[in-house]
């Protein structure tokens, strides 16, 4: 669990699988207690279901929903770890008094950080609410803190002389600040607990990494400051409401390990796309865990890796490859043998060979299970042919030998990824329109676009979130390779690309 992971699922269940005292920093930006439809940002089934769960009843229900998750976050934090909980005016007082003080204790409160920002407001009934609150609590009184890592530049026009009635001015002196009070720290000053120097995501260009089109996306600089403040390299950062993915993107860039969790397919896949955009030859790998597995990936997986994976999911134990294992791949906790076939339409010959192998492997266990009417063995495969099914039935009815045929789909859900087709049409003045269509067993959630696709570098998104699958764009003369990914409601993705050659109309080339 402690390697870099993006996990689709209910964070409460996933948190319960994380071991005690294993996380260095938890940053969470849970949905605010606003009871507004704009909280449903991605609009997919997981997010809508979570929204409805939170709003089954009032503030008490919301606090209970959040509290049981924060309890688990406290458990998984190391004694030297910290939590930063991001909230707003709707429930910040309740969250501090009813959740954080009770779980982390008042003596471990470090700061109430006020993140200030500006944006348009038409309110004439009260002053506009233009700040969020970030509560910082440590787990114990011995915690990681790196104040020097987040120092900010001095403002030499306004700093340092307030003690003398603002007389005089600070001046830059060989990289340091010199004022009437002497030479000050050349690294800059420690930021106060009110942050006005970090702009909200909407201030950045659309489809930039700071503004991916996710309305409540937190800016990169905000997470950089928090992660640098409370961790060192190779520490583990957990974001249980990963949203647009800024936390894991920043943690990855700062050489921290990380776990990101979300119930929304779109949130996980957009985070995945952002991580892929910054991956290089030297980047640390990460694992994407969806609820549904890709059929082709499973079929093409290394044989031994697949055996180990599916046997573990089934609840068994993989055999080490030994000469005397009779071709068996694993066993259940009661030692009943398991064989795995990474193929479809398994025939009768597999049943015959398996029966012979398990009798020779442990005849006493075979006879014991047969006498008790228990399974003598399990065969796991993608599907079974008529001959195999009939032979298993005959063995059960005529010889009282029970061999169970287990489909991979009985153990894990899998599906085929979308089959995507991309077409390009020239409009005028070097302008092209692109249309993506998909065939899939599941409905398409969204499309992403790479307008400078280089197959050796993989898919690098320019546009993360397109619900329609249609784009229009101007191009400079030359050859261009455009790719699109379609992501379905299970999180599986398919890709297609198209090359265009744009003529230089001025030179008739």
Residues 131 and 162 in one domain: no
- Digits of tens for pLDDT over the chain (509 positions)? 678 999 999 999 999 999 999 999 999 999 888 655 445 555 666 666 555 555 566 889 899 999 999 999 999 999 999 999 999 998 999 999 999 999 999 999 999 999 998 877 777 889 988 999 999 999 999 999 999 999 998 765 555 444 444 444 444 444 655 555 555 667 788 999 999 999 886 566 666 676 776 667 899 999 999 999 999 999 999 999 999 999 999 999 999 999 999 999 999 999 999 999 998 877 889 999 999 999 999 999 998 999 999 999 999 999 876 555 678 999 999 999 999 999 899 999 999 999 999 999 999 999 999 999 999 999 999 999 999 999 999 999 999 999 999 999 999 999 999 999 999 999 988 999 999 999 988 899 999 999 999 999 999 999 999 999 999 999 999 999 999 999 999 999 999 999 999 988 766 55
Helix axes 265-278, 45-54, angle to 10 degrees: 120
Q: Using CA atoms, how far apart are residues 238 and 257, in angstroms rounded to an integer?
A: 9
Q: Using CA atoms, how far apart are residues 453 and 108, in angstroms rounded to an integer?
A: 49
Residue 200: closest CA among 213, 219, 222: 219
Domain contains 83: yes
Sheet of strand 182-184, all strands in order from the earlier edge strand to the far edge: 171-173, 176-179, 182-184
- Whether the CB-CB separation of 398 and 424 falls below 8 Å is answered with no
Q: Using CA atoms, how far apart are residues 318 and 313, in angstroms rounded to an integer?
A: 11
Q: Residue 71: in which H helix or E strand, if any? A: helix 58-76
Residues 108 and 243 in one domain: yes
Number of domains into which the chain is organized:
4
Residues 146 and 158 in one domain: no
Domain contains 507: no
- Whether the CB-CB separation of 469 and 447 falls below 8 Å is answered with yes
Residues 451 and 318 in one domain: no
Helix (H, G, I), strand (E, B) or coil at 337: strand
Angle at 400 between CA 398 and CA 405, to 5 degrees: 100
Domain contains 26: yes
Confidence (pLDDT) at 150: 96
Q: Using CA atoms, how far apart are residues 269 and 273, in angstroms rounded to an integer?
A: 6
Q: What is the 3-state secondary structure (H, E, C) of 448-460?
A: EEECCCEHHHECC
Domain boundary among 411, 441, 472: 411
Domain of 279: which CATH number? 3.40.50.150
CB atoms within 10 A of CB 75: 17
Confidence (pLDDT) at 97: 97
Residues 282 and 340 in one domain: no
Residues 242 and 105 in one domain: yes
Domain contains 179: yes
Domain contains 508: no
CB atoms within 10 A of CB 128: 11
Residues 206 and 275 in one domain: yes
Q: Using CA atoms, how far apart are residues 78 and 139, in angstroms rounded to an integer?
A: 7
CB atoms within 10 A of CB 364: 7
Q: CB-based burial of residue 300 (10 Å sphere; 0-12 exposed, 13-18 middle, 19+ buried)? A: exposed
Q: Which two tokens stand for residue 422?
A: 């991309």
The phi, psi pair for 480, rounded to 5°, reads -135, 140
Residues 124 and 161 in one domain: no
Q: CB-based burial of residue 357 (10 Å sphere; 0-12 exposed, 13-18 middle, 19+ buried)? A: middle
- Whether the CB-CB separation of 209 and 274 falls below 8 Å is answered with yes
CB atoms within 10 A of CB 455: 9
Domain of 385: which CATH number? 3.40.1350
Q: Using CA atoms, how far apart are residues 449 and 460, in angstroms rounded to an integer?
A: 8
Domain boundary among 289, 323, 341: 289
Domain contains 117: yes
Residues 165 and 238 in one domain: no
Domain contains 259: yes
Q: What is the DSSP string of 282-296?
A: TSPP-EEE-SSEEHH
User: Greatest CA span in the chain, whole angstroms?
Assistant: 103
Domain boundary among 266, 289, 312: 289
- The domain in which residue 156 lies consists of 152-189
Residues 327 and 180 in one domain: no
Q: Using CA atoms, how far apart are residues 210 and 203, in angstroms rounded to an integer?
A: 9
Residues 283 and 318 in one domain: no
Q: Using CA atoms, how far apart are residues 483 and 423, in angstroms rounded to an integer?
A: 10
Confidence (pLDDT) at 203: 62
- Whether the CB-CB separation of 423 and 496 falls below 8 Å is answered with no
- Whether the CB-CB separation of 388 and 354 falls below 8 Å is answered with no
E strands along 108-207, which residues? 109-116, 131-138, 171-173, 176-179, 182-184, 194-195
Q: Classify residue 223 by its DSSP letter.
A: H
Q: Using CA atoms, how far apart are residues 209 and 203, in angstroms rounded to an integer?
A: 12
Residues 339 and 257 in one domain: no
Confidence (pLDDT) at 121: 75
Domain contains 509: no
pTM equals: 0.85
Domain of 455: which CATH number? 2.60.40.10
């Amino acid at each position: 669990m402690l390697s870099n992971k993006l996990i689709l699922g209910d964070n409460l269940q996933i948190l319960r699988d994380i071991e005690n005292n294993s996380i260095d920093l938890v940053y969470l930006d849970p949905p605010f207690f606003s009871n507004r439809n704009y909280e449903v940002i991605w609009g997919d089934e997981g997010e809508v279901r979570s929204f409805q769960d939170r709003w089954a009843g009032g503030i008490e229900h919301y606090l209970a929903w959040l509290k049981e998750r924060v309890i688990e976050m406290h458990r998984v934090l190391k004694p030297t770890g910290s939590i930063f909980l991001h909230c707003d005016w709707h429930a910040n007082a309740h969250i501090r008094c009813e959740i954080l003080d009770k779980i982390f204790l008042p003596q471990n409160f470090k700061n109430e950080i006020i993140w200030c920002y500006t944006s348009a407001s038409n309110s004439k009934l009260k002053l506009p609410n233009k700040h969020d609150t970030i509560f910082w609590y440590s787990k114990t009184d011995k915690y990681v803190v790196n104040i020097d890592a987040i120092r900010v530049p001095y403002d030499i026009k306004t700093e340092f002389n307030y003690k003398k009635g603002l007389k005089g001015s600070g001046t830059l002196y060989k990289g340091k600040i010199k004022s009437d009070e002497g030479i000050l720290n050349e690294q800059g000053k420690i930021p106060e607990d009110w942050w006005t120097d970090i702009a909200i995501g909407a201030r950045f260009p659309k489809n930039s990494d700071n503004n991916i089109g996710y309305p409540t996306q937190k800016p990169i600089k905000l997470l950089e400051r928090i992660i640098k403040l409370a961790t060192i390299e190779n520490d583990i950062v957990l974001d249980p409401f990963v949203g647009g993915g800024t936390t894991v993107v920043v943690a990855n860039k700062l050489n921290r390990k990380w776990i990101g969790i979300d119930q929304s397919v779109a949130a996980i896949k957009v985070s995945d796309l952002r991580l892929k955009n910054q991956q290089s030859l030297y980047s640390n790998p990460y694992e994407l865990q969806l609820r549904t597995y890709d059929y082709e990936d499973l079929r093409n997986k290394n044989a031994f890796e697949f055996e180990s994976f599916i046997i573990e999911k089934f609840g068994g134990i993989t055999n080490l490859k030994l000469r005397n294992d009779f071709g068996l791949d694993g066993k259940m906790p009661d030692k009943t043998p398991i064989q795995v076939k990474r193929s479809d339409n398994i025939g009768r010959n597999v049943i015959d060979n398996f029966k012979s192998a398990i009798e020779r492997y442990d005849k006493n266990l075979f006879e014991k299970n047969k006498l008790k009417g228990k399974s003598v063995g399990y065969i796991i495969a993608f599907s079974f042919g008529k001959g195999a099914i009939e032979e298993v039935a005959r063995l059960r009815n005529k010889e009282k030998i029970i061999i169970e045929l287990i489909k991979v789909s009985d153990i894990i859900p899998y599906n085929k990824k979308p089959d995507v087709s991309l077409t390009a049409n020239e409009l005028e003045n070097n302008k092209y329109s692109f249309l993506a269509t998909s065939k899939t067993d599941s409905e398409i959630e969204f499309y992403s676009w790479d307008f400078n696709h280089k197959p050796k570098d993989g898919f690098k998104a320019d546009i993360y979130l397109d619900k329609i699958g249609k784009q229009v764009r101007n191009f400079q003369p030359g050859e261009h390779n455009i790719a699109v990914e379609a992501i379905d409601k299970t999180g599986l993705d398919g890709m297609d690309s198209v090359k265009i050659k744009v003529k230089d109309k001025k030179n008739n080339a």
